[in-house]
Amino acid sequence: MKNKFSRRRFFQMAAIGSGSVLLLPGCTSLSSRSPCRFFTEKEALLVGYLVEQIIPTDEWPGARDAGVVNYIDKQLVGPLMRHQEKYRNGLVAVFTSCEKLYKKQFGELLWDEQTAFLKKMESGKLSGLLKDDKTESGQREPGLWADGLDRAFFGLVRDHTMQGFYGSPRHGGNKNYVIYRMIRLDYPFINGQNRYKS
């Protein structure tokens, strides 16, 4: 689009319009200094691809480089512990689905293929592509995405990506204060002292 705004310009305008920034309550690099707490290395790599699709890199770092994987990993052994099983099941389903549909890992897919996969997940269409399997006894086993897991898991990852990218760095994401620098917001916050710069 000719009138496409940059991400920084969009958030500058949003911040000015609202007068505030919503603040929501180290695993990305998989370095020895910041080992994952919940994810395996393979899972962390996959989550990195997923979150990068949700907030991709442009002139500013995307979700992966902003430490969102670290945020999710850290929170899953803390306040978001109740979602551990959903992440385990959802990630297994992504791994298996990509193998069945493409004979590849998610990270090996082209960008547009990853996008198309996530669109199917978001709309709940993966359960139709990967139907329930029959066992040797003829009984049906629940499919990978039974009970709307595709849509629910996408929503969970999307919400946690937003929290990790736009929230306070103290929770594990927003690495190097990327969102604050993007909208030119002073940090740390001092009541009455924050100002927006043009």
Neighbours of 107 (CB within 10 A): 14
Reported in sequence order, the residue ranges of 40-168 that DSSP labels E, i.e. its strands, are 133-134, 140-141
Would you say residue 135 lies in a domain?
no
Would you say residue 90 lies in a domain?
yes
First to last CA, the chain: 24
Would you say residue 36 lies in a domain?
yes
Would you say residue 195 lies in a domain?
no
pTM score, whole prediction: 0.71
Neighbours of 140 (CB within 10 A): 10
Tens-digit pLDDT profile for residues 14-49: 443 333 333 333 475 444 344 788 999 999 999 999
Reported in sequence order, the residue ranges of the chain that DSSP labels E, i.e. its strands, are 133-134, 140-141
Would you say residue 15 lies in a domain?
no
Would you say residue 176 lies in a domain?
yes
Would you say residue 17 lies in a domain?
no
| Burial letters 3-18, b for 16+ CB under 10 A, else e | eeeebbeebbeebeee
Nearest Cα to Cα of residue 180 among 51, 36, 20: 20
Looking at the predicted structure, is the pLDDT value of residue 177 above 70?
Answer: no
Tens-digit pLDDT profile for residues 58-69: 777 788 888 899
